[in-house]
Structure 1
């Protein structure tokens, strides 16, 4: 026997897919909307599996409370930007790609706010809203990044994360398998 459970999480975020290209034969136009700064109500579905149960469960759903906190604290109402985005220096002019950024354990960076501590509040608020990654923040890349974060943590409980579904919109999703 094999069991699978899943837990769903929601958060709001913004991003820009600066590398977007279209084949007009299929898209019917050449409007590159995803290159614009825009936002989504994202949904993540984490799937875990096991061929044995402990206390009648694959794991307790509460064992994913840390992931909800990560999404809320790190990504909710934040703007995810690729460090290689040509707009990076325009959107974050006080920050270079290699300096004044703080590395976080989950493989992303945040601006060092001490660089703007004497600026007006709205400037500080703008910079604290950026999450900097080293990939184009498409649903496929975001799902792979989040899968790795969940896998690394749940491995400590010997829980297998089989796959992760990432809904960028209610009708558009990506799925990544471990």
Structure 2
């Protein structure tokens, strides 16, 4: 048994799009309609992208490699860009720009002018000395840093990739706590030098 259905030459109802009749079996029709439904509904999203000049932080760090070796202590002027998605609009918006901008800035400011340390790195030993931290690494380097100049993060390394994950988790946590809102997907890009950045994208399991 065969059925006639319309077949669009384009993927959407654009002006001027031509149609033609084609002969398909029932199984072929079922597959094509399922594919069309997926394109029309499952992949449909709204998004906002925010990148402001003040989404930045200056911080020092050193990467620790798998063999225990490390980079010299150095710093970057980091910049941050975020993108949030939602399957539908609330009040004609994905999320209010006036609400998301202070959150991103708050997270960036918390990292600003700090030595960033990875709490979960097996090669870095962080000793609490009261008003300071003493750091030791496998190459027998030792650092003593005042606590107010240090931020110990729940990550395994201070790479741009791991910082992007941390920033993403912080922003989405705050939006959930303050606005009871969850993006269907959220993306953070961390640029450590011009033309050199890492991106982390998180999708919610609905």
TM-score, length-scaled by structure 1:
0.66
Q: Report the secondary structure of 1:157's partner residue.
A: coil
Aligned to 1:112: none
Looking at structure 2, the residues matched to 177 and 144 of structure 1 have their Cα atoms a distance apart, in angstroms, of 8
Q: CA deviation at 1:132?
A: 1.1
Note the alpha carbon deviations across 1:29-84, whole angstroms, 9 max, x for none: xxx9x701111111111110122222221111122213312321x21111101234
Aligned to 1:76: 112
Q: How many residues align?
A: 138
Looking at structure 2, the residues matched to 149 and 173 of structure 1 have their Cα atoms a distance apart, in angstroms, of 19
Which of 1 and 2 has higher RCO (CA within 8 Å, sep 6+)? 1
TM-score, length-scaled by structure 2:
0.58
Looking at structure 2, the residues matched to 138 and 15 of structure 1 have their Cα atoms a distance apart, in angstroms, of 9
The structure whose Rg is larger is: 2
Q: Report the secondary structure of 2:147's partner residue.
A: helix
Are 1:63 and 2:99 counterparts? yes
Q: 1:7 aligns with which of 39, 42, 50?
A: 50
Q: Is the 8 A contact 1:150 1:161 kept in 2?
A: no
After TM superposition, the structure 1 = structure 2 runs for residues 19-168 of structure 1, keeping only pairs within 5 Å, are: 19=65, 35-64=71-100, 65-72=102-109, 74-83=110-119, 84=121, 88-89=125-126, 95-96=127-128, 115-116=130-131, 126-133=146-153, 134-155=155-176, 156-168=180-192
Q: Please, what is the CA RMSD of the aligned residues? A: 2.7
Q: Report the secondary structure of 2:157's partner residue.
A: coil
Q: Using a 3 Å threshold, how does the CA distance of structure 1 residues 162 and 66 change in structure 2: closer, same or farther?
A: closer
Q: Report the secondary structure of 1:154's partner residue.
A: helix
